[in-house]
Amino acid sequence: MKRIVYILLLLSASVNAQDTVHYTGSTLSNVDYHHGQLPSVVGVHNIQVMRANRADTGVNNWTYNHQPMLAYWNNTFYLEYLSNPVGEHVPPGRTLLMCSKDGYNWSAPIVIFPPYKIPDGTVKEGGKDTAKNTFAVMHQRIGFFTSKAKRLFAIGFYGIVLAAKDDPNDGNGIGRVIREIKADGTFGPIYFLRYNHAFNEKNTSYPFYKTSKDKGFVAACDEFLNTPLMMMQTVEEGDRTDPLIPLKKDFKAFNYYHLPNGKVLGLWKYALTSTSADEGKTWQYNPLRAPGFVNANAKIWGQRTADGKYATVYNPSEFRWPLAISISDDGLNYKNLLLINGEITSLRYGGAYKSYGPQYVRGIQETDGKPVDNNMWITYSMNKEDIWVSRINVPVKDKVTTDVNDDFKSMADGTELNEWNIFSPAWCRVQTEQLNQQKVLALHDSDPFDYAKAERIFPEAKRVVVEFTITPKQNNTGNLEIELQDKKGQATLRLMFDSTGNLLTKQGYRNKSLGKYNAGEPVTIKIELNTTTRFYNVTINNGKASPNLCFQPVESVERLVFRTGSLRRFPNADTPTDQDYDLPNADKKDKEAVYFIHRVKTYKSAE
């Protein structure tokens, strides 16, 4: 035992002597909850930018969508993701591109790298299966490259899968492709940037980049190939002996940022980490597990934020939920763990290796632009099916110190939701809009498999009064649940606008009626809560107060949540890994329900 302790102390001393990223916070996620019971970052906006639908007549009818990448160039967000018809590594594959000026409203996806036919007769080195009328799949860990000349390029990789459980990242693929994204929305031709060992200019369908007459394009390609920090991101798909890849070991999903001392901090899957003093040409120690970090076989993202701090974003569990962020002052010591996205949309379409949860996160790498709002933007897939982005306020904070007094009609345009957390699927939009010529916060819902959610954090309190006014557009469909929660996301009370015009509150197993509501008529609600006694009063439209008992105890509350659906608990840690079935009526859209929030106010109650 003494020898083991001594070895551990030596390892600890060795780690501390190195520039090793580590987590020293005490917060850990609880995988029994989709949100991990983590404190929320204030003002996170989670936006679904692509919703797969097999009935779609456009490109959204392929239901495996994953591995998104993000860039910011020419005052525009660019998002690239790969797609297969049903499941992972099941051909054909393609890569799509979307763009947005504001991060909220996105163009329809277009195919930037189309399916690629593998030459008939192709056999992998050491393999037996032979390609015949077979298409490649796509897989890339880097999707964009911005040259020093400020030209933006999309990058992809065509891999080969010839049988079940074949690996497109075994070094036996076709090669990496590149094309320019131009400011006018057009694209340059597709070229091969680098071939794998069995392919060359004679047996591939796109020309080699060296043949281009555009000298600037050729120079940009050479720049990419001669930049170690770019080539490090090609190691999985590239030739295993590629001399341009500095670290030829099977570490996955590399990304990096620069430390204050100029060194490069590298991150890989499983929260592996190392540092480089020469821009990635060599690494100072073999990548090791970042002490204190919890991360499994999913990506981890790291970057320096606009306020000079550092952030890592990842799934802090052995599963791919929740999606969380940790902040560091120096890029090495991470001290907290906060929630970004704690929702898991229903996985509507079964398919190979489709994991549950918000996963495979990527932000904007140092060379690919800085959004003008100075906030942090990330992208990820949900269930390897839908594509999302998140806007994270910088500086990142998890507390509100002043009471809420949000009256949307009088708030400045563009600032209304700065302190609101929103979860906004494509068919459940959360946004400000006009109602009777007055600005409101609107929650739309026409998705039978998802919901809209808006959350307002307020100063933590044991005794609090919360007031708000809501106009339901209808009283014959939809469901709005309103909760007061603690910092771990545990609700103590719940009010409901049900689909039959009833206003209810949860009382243990049963619901208690608080009255009726009418379509198009505002409802003003006042809640007076005492978490110590577990009692709360509800007053509707200045009527008589209704006394109630909280359905579960909490020490204090700090979140007001509006949600157009019931809380989800599926999947959980015991759910089978692979879902091989589609949900019934997976393409269906419900009749829309809309709820308009006029104002929200919180204040301390009288003793």
Q: Is 54 in contact with 322 (CB distance < 8 Å)?
A: no
Do both 328 and 414 map to the same domain? no
Q: Where are the alpha helices (DSSP H) in 449-544?
A: none
Residue 119 and residue 29 share a domain: yes
pLDDT per residue over 557-572, tens digit each? 999 999 999 999 999 9
Query: Under a CB-based contact definition with an 8 Å cutoff, are residues 278 and 270 in contact?
Result: no
Rounded-to-integer distance, Cα 218 and Cα 271, Å: 35
Would residue 55 count as lying in a domain?
yes
Q: Is 445 helix (H, G, I), strand (E, B) or coil?
A: strand
Q: 195 and 291 share a domain?
A: yes
Domain that holds residue 553: 405-579+588-603
pLDDT in tens, 439-470: 999 999 999 999 999 999 999 999 999 999 99
Return d(Cα 194, Cα 405) in angstroms, integer.
57
Residue 7 lies in a domain: no
Number of compact structural domains in the chain: 2
* Residue 341 pLDDT greater than 70, yes or no: yes
Residue 6 has pLDDT above 50, yes or no: no
pLDDT > 70 fraction of the chain, expressed in percent and rounded: 97
The band of 13, judged by pLDDT with boundaries at 50, 70 and 90, is very low
pLDDT of residue 11: 42
| Confidence class for position 607, pLDDT limits 50, 70, 90 | low
pLDDT at 7 over 80: no
Residue 365: its pLDDT value, please?
Answer: 98
Could you tell me if residue 545 is inside a domain?
yes
CA nearest 479: which of 527, 515, 446, 441? 446
Residue 329 pLDDT exceeds 50: yes
pLDDT at 175: 98
Residue 543 belongs to a domain: yes
Beta bridge partners of 42: none
Residues 190 and 148 in one domain: yes
Cα–Cα distances (Å) from 403 to 47, 160, 406, in that order, read 26, 57, 10
Q: Which CATH number characterizes residue 34's domain?
A: 2.120.10.10
Please check whether residues 93 and 172 belong to one and the same domain.
yes
Tell me if 2 is assigned to some domain. Answer: no
Last residue of a domain, one of 336, 358, 392: 392
Q: pLDDT for 59-78, tens place per residue?
A: 999 999 999 999 999 999 99
Q: For residue range 112-161, what is the model confidence (pLDDT) as tens digits?
A: 999 999 999 999 988 899 999 999 999 999 999 999 999 999 999 999 99
Average pLDDT over the chain, rounded to an integer: 95
How far is C-alpha 191 from the chain's CA centre?
30
What span, in angstroms and rounded, lies between the C-alpha atoms of 511 and 493?
11
pTM of the entire structure? 0.96
Write down the residue that tokens 């070229």 correspond to.
191
Phi, psi of 112 (to 5 degrees): -100, -30
Quick one: pLDDT band at residue 1, thresholds 50, 70, 90?
A: very low
Domain identity same for 409 and 291:
no
pLDDT tier at 8, thresholds 50, 70, 90: very low
Structure tokens at 229: 């920090």
Asked whether residue 432 falls in the same domain as residue 357, the answer is no
pLDDT in tens, 287-310: 999 999 999 889 999 999 999 999
Residues 367 and 260 in one domain: yes
Are residues 444 and 358 part of one domain? no
* Same domain (yes/no): 411, 474: yes
- Determine the pLDDT at residue 539: 98
Task: Name residues whose C-beta falls within 8 Å of residue 13's C-beta, 6 or more positions apart in sequence.
Answer: none
- Cα angle, residue 377 at apex, residues 428 and 41 outer, rounded to 5°: 75
Q: Is residue 184 part of a domain?
A: yes
Q: Average of pLDDT values for 254-265?
A: 98
Average pLDDT over residues 405-430: 97
CATH number at residue 455: 2.60.120.560
Residue at which a domain ends, from 337, 366, 392:
392
Q: Do 187 and 294 sit in the same domain of this protein?
A: yes
As a whole number of angstroms, the distance between CA 464 and CA 530 comes to: 7
Evaluate whether residue 265 is within a structural domain: yes
Distance CA 323, CA 345 (A): 13
Q: Token pair for residue 334?
A: 């991470």
Last residue in a domain, options 370, 392, 414 = 392
In the prediction, which pLDDT does 9 show?
Answer: 36
Q: Enumerate the H helices of 269-361 as residue ranges.
A: none
Pick from 481, 482, 484: which is nearest to 463 by CA? 484
In degrees rounded to 5, what are phi and psi of residue 471? -115, 110
8 A C-beta contact, residue 557 and residue 484:
yes
Average pLDDT estimate for 377-382: 98
The residue among 446, 334, 362, 453 whose CA lies nearest residue 34 is: 453
Same domain, 383 and 437: no
- Answer whether residue 203 is part of any domain: yes
**206-254 residue pLDDT tens:** 999 999 999 999 999 999 999 999 999 999 999 999 999 999 888 999 9
